Amino acid sequence: MREIIKYPNIVLTTPTKKVTEIDDGLIELLDEMYQIMTEKDGIGLAANQLGESCRVAIVYVDDESGLFEMINPKIIKKSGMTVDVEGCLSFPDIYGTVERYDDIIVRFVDREGYEVEAEVSGYLSRVMQHEIEHLDGKLFTDKIIERLSPDELIDYMEEHGYD
Ligand SMILES: [Zn+2]
């Protein structure tokens, strides 16, 4: 089983390579990414966070929107700006508010090889942008407006109506 790569490992700040073939290794990677993300209570994970420098990310924000397995994802349309709090499995105990696009259209290939276009907004859109930036070698800590400690995070979430 792979391990979550923590900052500062160079794989996190290196742009990942585009996937050219969906083979058994890639399917195994997707399955393992889901297993590790779920174990760590994450809502998104990029392949380079497991040390695999390929353009693959997964997102699972809630049961309603379900699991997104994104191969070679690309944001093709974006609008609106919004600020909300984020964390990252590669930065334990660091949280902070980040400005993101509110609505995006993302295009990717799924594990069956089909091209998918999804129009998403709100927190789902935020997490997708966070994960796609991982694939570009970019980190949310470079965009933090206000950093929050784990205690301040709890206060922030209560104030903003998260459960
Ligand atoms: Zn992250």
Distance between Cα 128 and ligand 1 center (Å): 10
Mind listing the pLDDT tens digit for each residue in 23-38?
A: 999 999 999 999 999 9
Mind listing the pLDDT tens digit for each residue in 32-63?
A: 999 999 999 999 999 999 999 999 999 999 99
Would residue 2 count as lying in a domain? no
Q: Domain of 83: which CATH number? A: 3.90.45.10
How much of the chain, in percent, has pLDDT values that exceed 90?
94
Q: Work out whether the CA dihedral 67, 30, 88, 76 comes out positive or negative.
A: negative
Instruction: Kindly indicate the confidence band of residue 161, based on its pLDDT and cuts at 50, 70 and 90.
Output: confident
Asked whether residue 134 is marked as a ligand-binding residue, the answer is: yes
Would residue 4 count as lying in a domain? no
How much is the mean pLDDT over the chain? 97
Q: Which domain holds residue 138?
A: 10-159
Q: What is the mean pLDDT of residues 109-135?
A: 98
pLDDT at 163 over 90: no
Q: What is the mean pLDDT of residues 124-137?
A: 98
Asked whether residue 88 is marked as a ligand-binding residue, the answer is: yes
Would residue 66 count as lying in a domain? yes
Q: What is the mean pLDDT of residues 125-152?
A: 97
Work out how many domains the chain is built from and give that number: 1
Closest CA to 105 of 120, 92, 115: 120
Would residue 136 count as lying in a domain? yes
Instruction: Kindly indicate the confidence band of residue 162, based on its pLDDT and cuts at 50, 70 and 90.
Output: confident
Would residue 150 count as lying in a domain? yes
Q: What is the DSSP string of the chain?
A: ---PPPSS-GGGGSPPBPP----HHHHHHHHHHHHHHHHTT-SEEEGGGGT--BSEEEEE--TTT-EEEEEEEEEEEEEEEEEEEE--TTSTT-EEEEEEEEEEEEEEE-TTS-EEEEEEEHHHHHHHHHHHHHHTT--GGGG-SEEE-HHHHHHHHHHTT--
Distance between Cα 144 and ligand 1 center (Å): 13
Catalytic residue at 131?
Answer: yes
Residues with CB under 5 A from ligand 1 (ion): 88
Would residue 73 count as lying in a domain? yes
Would residue 3 count as lying in a domain? no
Would residue 5 count as lying in a domain? no
Q: Which of the following is catalytic: 64, 131, 152, 158?
A: 131
Distance between Cα 133 and ligand 1 center (Å): 9
Asked whether residue 160 is marked as a ligand-binding residue, the answer is: no
Instruction: Kindly indicate the confidence band of residue 5, based on its pLDDT and cuts at 50, 70 and 90.
Output: very high
φ/ψ (deg, to 5) at 17:
-90, 145
